[in-house]
Amino acid sequence: MINNQSSVKPRNYYIGFGLSLLLTLTAYLLVWRHAQSHHAVFTDSSLRIGVIVLALLQLIVQLIFFLHLNFKQNLRWNLTVLSFAAIVVLILVIGSIWIMTNLNYSHAGYGKTHDGHTLTSPSQTNQYIIQDEGVQP
């Protein structure tokens, strides 16, 4: 048996949930305050660093309190958990960047496109994407 169920206490789940909630709300409030102040309170780079640090702390909390990662025993199990967490984080980060890049291309707003066309309406945007992608209606 990998995990001794008698050592898992519900109190640990409550602590983990509370810490996760606190870290998530902190990140949200930092970004909210940054947006409300019209980018005057924090610089963009300091906000990025703060959110990344909070995300890494969130990952550590998740690994310790919910995946029961400890360095006292079962080093093979810890390596499995860390590998799984790394794969999930990579999938989420790479997938999010991929989706945002595609959304930015498809819904770049009105104005100049990457090849110099000027778009002023949603129908022009649709027509441009259809022509650019070579889609035949």
In tens, the pLDDT along 64-94 reads 898 787 767 778 888 887 888 889 989 999 9
The answer, yes or no, to whether residue 132 has pLDDT greater than 60, is yes
pLDDT, average across residues 55-63: 91
Q: Where are the domains of the chain?
A: 5-107, 108-137
The answer, yes or no, to whether residue 10 has pLDDT greater than 80, is yes
CB 34 within 8 A of CB 42: yes
Q: What is the pTM of this model?
A: 0.60
pLDDT, average across residues 89-116: 78
Read off the pLDDT band of 1 (50, 70, 90).
Answer: very low
Average pLDDT, the chain: 83
Report the pLDDT value the prediction gives residue 80, as an integer from 0 to 100. 84
Separation of alpha carbons 97 and 94, rounded Å: 5
pLDDT, average across residues 27-53: 91
Q: Hey, what are 115's tokens?
A: 């090849």
